[in-house]
Chain A
Amino acid sequence: MYRYDSFDQALVNERVEQFRGQTRRFLAGELNEEEFRPLRLMNGLYIQRHAPMLRVSIPYGLLSSDQLRMLAHIARTYDRGFGHFTTRQNIQYNWPQLERVPDILADLAKVEMHAMQTSGNCIRNITSDHLAGVAADELTDPRPYCELIRQWATLHPEFSYLPRKFKIAVSASDKDRAAIRVHDIGLQIVRNDAGELGFEVYVGGGLGRTPIVGERISDFVPVRELISYLEAILRVYNLNGRRDNMHKARIKILVRAMGIEAFRDQVEAEWQHLRHDPELQLEEEDVAYMRGFFQPPAYDTDAGEGDLQAQLDADRAFANWHRHNTEAHRQDGYRAVFLSLKAPAIAPGDMTDRQMDAVADLAERFGFGEVRVTHTQNLVLADVRKDQLHALWQALRDLNLATPNIGTMTDMIACPGLDFCSLANAGSIDVAKDINERFDNIDYLYDLGDIRLNMSGCMNACGHHHVGHIGILGVDKKGQEFYQITVGGSSSNDAGMGERIGPAVPKDQVADTLESILHTFVEHREGDEPLLDTYRRIGVKPFKEAAYA
């Protein structure tokens, strides 16, 4: 993984001291709330329902065991003993004290971490494929490019007061696991006919109040010119994006208003001025240097399977976990292991300090000391020897991190909802709990196949409800919590928004409605087809009719 040099470290340390000064000036009344707001937001700090909320950046979801231990330390020392992993592969703390945030940031800096640009109208954390570097369908490791983009975006002088937030995701695989089509900019690494690497670029995707699938703005931007192309897009957006209405300020609104052709023309015109600037060109040396940080670990090429087959045969619970919570690996003798943060009765994505410390130990014992955060709010140990899977499973089970539900309906994405968030209209945590209680038969869930259930507590869509195969959106109806339910969304290569099945239902009917959707699915399903395929074949009508019969 990337390690800071003295330059990176100095910048992060200086950022901590800058924010310490800003916090002091705010508390002394020298900065008013409005002036302090963007400064704290660009250091990850929100003012929330109960207390400030601090969002810590985890670039492209990659953590060392020492960094995870620091996250545990922060949860224990400054919070109430847990943290919440997010769809941007970050972690949030819900109970820090404003006065102590500079100390938290100083602790983070000790392990090469920060909270810069996790909020505010600037370029946010760069996200990517949680299986980067180990996926079989990968063209090249996207993470060196993510890090180059991260550095370019950090404290960018021109693009730190944009009309609105700006999210970039990078994928290099056939299967899009980074949801690039619902980002402000989505980058797909491709190879052209001449064999050169470059980027297929999507622009103007996003969820929130106005969900839009991004459009392709370029088939191929050479690696050398990536940064200048990004600058051209950002500049056109910075100068032309709406600033009069924050709900219409994202780049997707601008792209839609101009039309992709006119937007592309402006970007191309701007790019002609930027692309020849040597300062903005990525040299082969830059990429090679960055690539050096993401070399495969020292795999044991003789690693066999050990007793794996016998262990699988002997224990159905282990076999279930192996089948659902582990994935094929590029290296013989290894698998990637998912740690489910979706145990029943646990808020999706939450983790305690004790679990974090224990996983840090397990990462060192079984996974070369690295952990990844997925945008579906789970963790991954990417490089585990097959003959050690059983031992790891036992350890994870003791930690309540081995719920064998990855990819099933209870592996749901959920925002913190009304319990924590001051934007939310409705709770998500107790709905998740209801769903877990209703659908507690794991064999039934397995029979249903892959179902992505996404839930947001308001239309800001932090839980990506539009792109869930099943989506749940919390709304406020005269002070009551209601839930709109959609089917048929996807954030993958075939990205699209789900379709509403009917009027919102009260909280105590969400599980019933889901049950009706699942019955309709099973009734119409052909063979083993996934829910998404059934929906695309039969449309929303049968789901609607059954749910509101």
Chain B
Amino acid sequence: MRKIIRDGAIAEDHWQHVADDAALPAGDIIVGFARWQQERDALLRHDGRVGIRIDGDTSLLDIVDDLEHFALIALNFPAFKDGRCYSHARVLRERFRYGGELRAVGDVLRDQLMYMSRVGINAFEVREDRSIADALNAFKEFSGYYQINPHGPIARDTRRQQRRAAVAAG
């Protein structure tokens, strides 16, 4: 079974990516946005959980009413330099309060995980020709950031408190 990073640790992955023209297997599946649109009713009857895979040019407005049906949303990075899904991730978490798994798929490399994890992506299909154990090191590189961090202390508030403490201590 394939290994991925989930919530900061290496985990077995039982989700299956299903091509648009392939028969639906049993179990938990990830289908593309187009297939979801075409086979919505059939997918709602599927006996496993359903995840959807979207691209940078997918409009979130087209999936927002269906979010409750998705246990997972896979954000596709066709090339690691394509940063559109960073925006999608933040909007899904912050505006639409999406609480399921947000998974980076595609050209997912160690040196982008530090950014991805801070927009709310919590699972990573690290490219298979790279060491997943090495990729875990990406989360240890910084002890803090200037911006919000959905999974940790909020930087600005933390810094305000530090400053107040410093002022109070004279």
Among A11, A14, A289, point to the contact of B163 (Cβ < 8 A): A289
Chain A residues near B111 (CB, 8 Å)?
Answer: 22, 31, 35, 39
Name the CB-closest residue of A to B118.
A157
> Cβ of B82 < 8 Å from any Cβ of A?
yes
Please provide the chain B residues from 152 to 170 with a CB less than 8 Å away from any CB of chain A in the complex: 154-157, 159-160, 162-163, 166
Name the CB-closest residue of A to B56.
A239
Q: With A11-B142, A155-B145 in contact, do A238 and B86 touch (Cβ < 8 Å)? A: yes
> Cβ of A309 < 8 Å from any Cβ of B?
no
| Alpha-carbon separation in the docked complex, A158 to B115 (Å) | 7
| Alpha-carbon separation in the docked complex, A154 to B146 (Å) | 7
| Alpha-carbon separation in the docked complex, A11 to B159 (Å) | 13
Q: Nearest 5 CB-CB pairs, A to B?
A: A161-B83, A157-B118, A158-B86, A151-B146, A157-B115
Please provide the chain A residues from 346 to 397 with a CB less than 8 Å away from any CB of chain B in the complex: none
In the complex, besides A5-B166, A157-B147, 7 extra interface pairs with C-beta distance below 8 angstroms are A7-B144, A11-B143, A152-B146, A158-B90, A158-B115, A273-B95, A286-B160
| Alpha-carbon separation in the docked complex, A11 to B145 (Å) | 7
> Cβ of A541 < 8 Å from any Cβ of B?
no
**Residue pair A238, B112 in contact (C-beta under 8 Å):** no
> Cβ of A257 < 8 Å from any Cβ of B?
no
Do most interface residues of chain A lie in helix, strand or loop, or is the interface mixed? helix
**Residue pair A157, B156 in contact (C-beta under 8 Å):** no
Do most interface residues of chain B lie in helix, strand or loop, or is the interface mixed? helix
For the complex formed, measure the closest distance between the CB of B145 and the CB atoms of chain A, giving whole angstroms. 6
Please provide the chain B residues from 103 to 143 with a CB less than 8 Å away from any CB of chain A in the complex: 109, 111-112, 114-116, 118-119, 141-143
> Cβ of A10 < 8 Å from any Cβ of B?
yes
> Cβ of A87 < 8 Å from any Cβ of B?
no
For the complex formed, measure the closest distance between the CB of A170 and the CB atoms of chain B, giving whole angstroms. 18
For the complex formed, measure the closest distance between the CB of A21 and the CB atoms of chain B, giving whole angstroms. 8
**Residue pair A238, B160 in contact (C-beta under 8 Å):** no
Query: Chain B contact residues (Cβ within 8 angstroms of A): what range?
Result: 35 or more
Which A residues contact B (CB, under 8 angstroms)? 5-7, 10-11, 14-15, 17-18, 21-22, 31, 35, 38-39, 121, 151-152, 154-163, 235, 238-239, 243, 273, 277, 279, 283, 285-286, 289
| Alpha-carbon separation in the docked complex, A14 to B143 (Å) | 8
> Cβ of B45 < 8 Å from any Cβ of A?
no
> Cβ of B87 < 8 Å from any Cβ of A?
yes
Chain B residues near A38 (CB, 8 Å)?
Answer: 81
For the complex formed, measure the closest distance between the CB of B55 and the CB atoms of chain A, giving whole angstroms. 11
**Residue pair B146, A10 in contact (C-beta under 8 Å):** no
Chain A residues near B94 (CB, 8 Å)?
Answer: 277
| Alpha-carbon separation in the docked complex, A11 to B147 (Å) | 12
| Alpha-carbon separation in the docked complex, A155 to B141 (Å) | 12
> Cβ of B148 < 8 Å from any Cβ of A?
yes
Name the CB-closest residue of A to B163.
A289
Q: With A35-B111, A39-B111 in contact, do A155 and B146 touch (Cβ < 8 Å)? A: yes
Chain A residues near B154 (CB, 8 Å)?
Answer: 279
Most chain A C-beta atoms within 10 Å of own C-beta, residue among B86, B141, B144, B147? B147
